[in-house]
Each structure stands twice: as structure tokens, then as C-alpha cells.
């Protein structure tokens, strides 16, 4: 069955286009054509989008929770499905359920649940993000340092055990041996630096060993200073590294965001939410790593006042990137779709509206409201 999506402002590689139609055949985009192309009239179904934007689906590599579910609390298939459904309402069509530092048993359960979710076809699941427990106590943030440890051979084997999806591991490279880091990379794990006390030299060396980028740039890492550039300076200075960033107006000042955009080559900075259970849910508080986290005026903090993830959704991150940082809509959307896809090594199948790509799409109106999404060609109204 072929579906034609028409009468939208379609975001293609070179910008927004009117009078185009996107043809979906099964779970893939089969063609992008002019509105008057004969293939549009021949489609089994024609869907008019009434002038709304048609965008590549958003991809979020750091999703701790949503819909009142927290992955650490219930590392099972049902929680993953609930989290994915909550974030889909805000345009996220691909995500990595994210487990923060925990026991080896909980990590194994989370990996097994992710594998089961992929096998069951839970919409949007692209793999798993293990954020910790190989982190620096000095930069622990809201993580429970009691779980911190250095990875041994069995830890590497576990981290690399997911079948059928991507695995992202956030670690502090100064806390991990070169042998363990190389072993993770050689087994196909995407490694990012985060919650790290690394110096500039230490992180630059880690990039040379295969670390691909950094998790939530500026947060939980050594800052950029005049005499010691720190992890932030290394991330900004290294041309090939990728940087995830939380654009909620709380984690990073807009001026710092603009500085990062100027420093990094185009395509190397992408949006993440670091979202917690309140996104798409109703809870005003929850437990994280044994700590009570309160949500007040959109800010999630533990009882010590430290930020504990966010209440950010992806369409709001895109909107903030336009309104607070000053990027145009097309580039802000790429930071939420094409660039994270490329970071995950999925740039040839996800994150763009083009023939042969996954039919993961977002319909958004001019008021930043998500009207409809498609995941693998299957529509859902929001």
C-alpha cells in the first residue's frame, strides 16, 4: 500500500519546500516528488497535511523516562513502550531508553528488555544508552556513586551484548583502562565521555582511542578555563567529536550554546532531552538513584538542589534552539533528527526525508504542536 503525504512544508536536505509530496511504501519512503507527479494520484491513500510542516522524525539518544515511567525502576519491555509512547507525542520517533548507574543485574535486565522491545517491534526503539556506572565521583551529578566501578572483561561483554540495535555507553575515560575502552569500541559500542573529571589532554587522548563524543556538553564535566581547557574545551576543539546538548534554558546558558555552535563543525552538535518520568506524565516527584526528585516550574532537582535530568521534550528543545539560540528551523530540526542519526551510525537509514529512508516522520503546525507522527510508516495522531 502506497500513501502520499501532500500539501505540507517538507524539510529536505536543502531546506523547506512547498508543493512536494512524500510517498510511503511499507516502512520506507519510496520517493519525494512534485505535488503534480502522476504517482501521487496513483497512491492507494492521499493524506492532505493542510500546510503543516513535514519533518524527519526526532531521535533522542538520552531518554531516562516518560509517561511517569523510569527505566531504572522498571527495566522491562512495558516501561520502554510506555516511555516511547509518551515521547512520541512530542515528535520523537526514535530513541535510546537510558539507564543511569545501577547494579550489573539491573543493567542485564535493561539490555534484555531492550532486545525484547526491538524484537517485538515496539515503535521507535533504536537501542540502549548505558549512562554509567563507569563515571567520576567528582562529577557524579544525580548518579549514585555507590554503583561506580571500573569495567572488567565481564562488564565489557555485558555492555556489548545487545543484538539488533545500537549501544551507547557514557563513561569517564580517566576512570577506564585503555584496554577496556578499546574493547568496547572494537565490539561495536558507541562510547561517549560524560560525568568526567578528565583534563583536556586526557579527553583528547580518549578521542584518539575511539571515544566518539560527549554526553550533555557543559554538564557534569570539567569546564573550559584559560589555563586548562578541560573536557568542555577538548569537546569543542576536537573537530570529529560529537556533542549532545540539553537545550531547556536550565542546563546550559543560550550564550554557551551559541559558542558551541560556532566552535563545532556543522552536524556535530545534536539535541538530547535527558528526560525523566514527568515528560508526558503527571507525577510531580519521583525517586532517582534513591533520591527524591521534585519538579517545580519545569525544573527537576534533587533535595540538594542539583539538576536531576530534565522535563524537556524534543519539540520544545527544537523550539528553544530557534527562539533562544537563534538558529533557523531547518537547522534546529537537523539537530534533532539527522545529526543524532549520524552519531548513532544510522545516517544512511534515518533522520532525513529521502527515498529509501525509514518512514519516521513528524507533522508539526506553526504553533509548534505535533499533529501526527509516523514510525516505520505507521501513522498515529497526537
pLDDT tens for each residue of 307-328: 888 999 999 999 999 999 999 9
Whether residue 303 has pLDDT greater than 90: no
Say whether domain 2-55+354-381 belongs to CATH 2.30.40.10: yes
Check whether 66 has a pLDDT greater than 90: yes
The residue from 274, 313, 348, 360 that is catalytic is: 274
In degrees and rounded to multiples of 5, residue 11 shows phi and psi of -90, 110
The whole-number pLDDT of residue 284 equals 87
Would you list the domain boundaries of the chain?
2-55+354-381, 58-343
Instruction: Give the per-residue pLDDT at 186.
Output: 98
Nearest C-alpha neighbor of 270 from the set 193, 200, 347, 343: 343
Residue 249's pLDDT is 94
Question: In whole numbers, what is the pLDDT of the chain averaged over residues?
Answer: 96
For 77, the grid coordinates are 519491555
In three-state secondary structure terms, 85 is helix
Range 323-329 contact pairs with CB under 8 angstroms and sequence separation of 24 or more: 324/247, 324/249, 324/254, 324/257, 325/247, 325/254, 325/257, 325/258, 325/261, 326/258, 327/261, 329/11, 329/16, 329/53
Over range 346-352, report the average pLDDT. 98
**pLDDT for the residue 4:** 98
Amino acid 302: pLDDT: 86
Per residue in 192-233, pLDDT tens? Answer: 999 999 999 999 999 999 999 999 999 999 999 999 999 999
**Which residue did the predictor score with more confidence, 89 or 282?**
89
Tell me the three cell numbers of residue 38.
Answer: 502522476
Residue 126 pLDDT class (50, 70, 90 cuts): very high
Confidence of residue 283 (pLDDT cuts 50, 70, 90): confident
Quickly name the fold that domain 58-343 has.
TIM Barrel (3.20.20)
Residue 306 clears pLDDT 90, i.e. is over it: no
- CB distance 343 to 270 below 8 Å: yes
Nearest one of 257, 196, 261, 259 to 231, comparing CA atoms: 196
pLDDT recorded at residue 279: 96
Q: 128, 190 in Cβ contact below 8 A?
A: no
Q: Considering all CA atoms of the chain, what is the largest pairwise distance in Å, rounded to the nearest integer?
A: 65
Sequence-distant (6+) residues with CB within 8 A of 121 are: none
Give the pLDDT mean for 332-340: 98
Q: pLDDT band at residue 167, thresholds of 50, 70 and 90? A: very high
Query: C-alpha cell of 40?
Result: 501521487
DSSP letter at 273 equals -
Q: Is 18 a catalytic residue?
A: no
Helix (H, G, I), strand (E, B) or coil at 249: coil
CA-to-CA dists, residue 171 to 62, 132, 205, angstroms: 14, 6, 14
Which string of b and e fits 320-343 if b means at least 16 CB within 10 Å? bbbebbebebebbbbbbbbbbbbb
Residue 94 has pLDDT above 90, yes or no: yes
For the cut 90, the answer to whether the pLDDT of residue 244 exceeds it is yes
Cell numbers placing 153: 572483561
Amino acid at each position: 500500500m502506497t500513501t502520499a503525504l501532500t500539501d505540507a512544508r517538507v524539510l529536505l536536505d536543502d531546506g523547506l519546500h512547498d508543493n512536494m509530496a512524500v510517498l510511503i511504501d511499507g516502512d520506507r519512503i519510496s520517493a519525494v516528488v512534485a505535488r503534480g507527479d502522476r504517482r501521487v494520484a496513483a497512491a492507494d491513500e492521499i493524506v492532505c497535511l493542510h500546510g503543516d510542516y513535514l519533518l524527519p522524525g526526532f531521535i533522542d539518544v538520552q531518554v531516562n523516562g516518560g509517561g511517569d515511567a523510569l527505566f531504572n525502576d522498571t527495566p522491562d519491555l512495558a516501561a520502554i513502550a510506555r516511555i516511547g509512547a509518551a515521547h512520541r507525542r512530542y515528535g520523537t520517533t526514535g530513541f535510546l531508553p537510558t539507564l543511569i548507574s545501577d547494579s550489573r543485574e539491573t543493567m542485564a535486565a535493561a539490555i534484555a528488555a531492550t532486545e525484547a522491545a526491538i524484537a517485538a517491534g515496539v515503535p521507535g526503539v533504536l537501542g540502549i544508552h548505558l549512562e554509567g556506572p563507569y563515571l567520576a565521583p567528582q562529577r557524579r551529578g544525580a548518579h549514585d556513586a555507590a554503583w561506580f566501578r571500573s569495567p572488567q572483561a565481564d562488564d565489557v561483554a555485558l555492555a556489548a551484548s545487545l543484538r539488533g540495535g545500537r549501544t551507547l555507553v557514557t563513561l569517564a575515560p580517566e576512570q577506564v583502562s585503555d584496554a577496556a575502552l578499546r574493547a568496547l569500541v572494537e565490539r561495536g559500542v558507541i562510547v561517549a565521555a560524560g560525568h568526567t573529571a578528565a583534563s583536556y589532554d586526557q579527553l583528547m587522548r580518549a578521542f584518539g582511542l575511539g571515544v566518539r563524543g560527549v554526553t550533555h556538553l557543559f554538564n557534569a564535566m570539567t569546564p573550559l578555563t584559560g589555563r586548562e581547557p578541560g573536557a568542555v574545551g577538548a569537546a569543542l576543539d576536537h573537530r570529529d567529536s560529537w556533542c549532545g546538548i540539553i537545550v531547556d534554558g536550565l542546563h546550559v546558558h543560550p550564550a554557551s550554546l551559541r559558542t558551541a555552535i560556532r566552535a563545532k563543525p556543522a552536524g556535530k552538535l545534536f539535541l538530547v532531552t535527558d528526560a525523566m518520568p514527568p515528560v508526558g506524565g503527571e507525577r510531580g516527584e519521583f525517586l532517582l538513584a534513591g533520591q527524591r526528585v521534585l519538579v517545580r516550574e519545569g525544573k527537576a532537582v534533587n533535595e540538594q538542589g542539583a539538576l536531576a535530568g530534565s522535563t524537556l521534550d524534543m519539540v520544545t528543545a527544537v523550539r528553544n534552539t530557534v527562539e533562544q539560540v537563534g538558529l533557523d528551523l531547518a537547522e534546529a530540526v537537523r539537530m534533532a533528527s539527522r545529526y543524532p542519526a549520524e552519531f548513532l551510525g544510522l545516517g544512511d537509514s534515518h533522520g532525513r526525508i529521502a527515498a529509501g529512508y525509514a518512514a519516521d516522520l513528524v507533522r508539526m503546525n506553526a504553533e509548534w504542536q505535533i499533529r501526527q507522527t509516523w514510525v516505520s510508516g505507521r501513522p498515529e495522531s497526537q
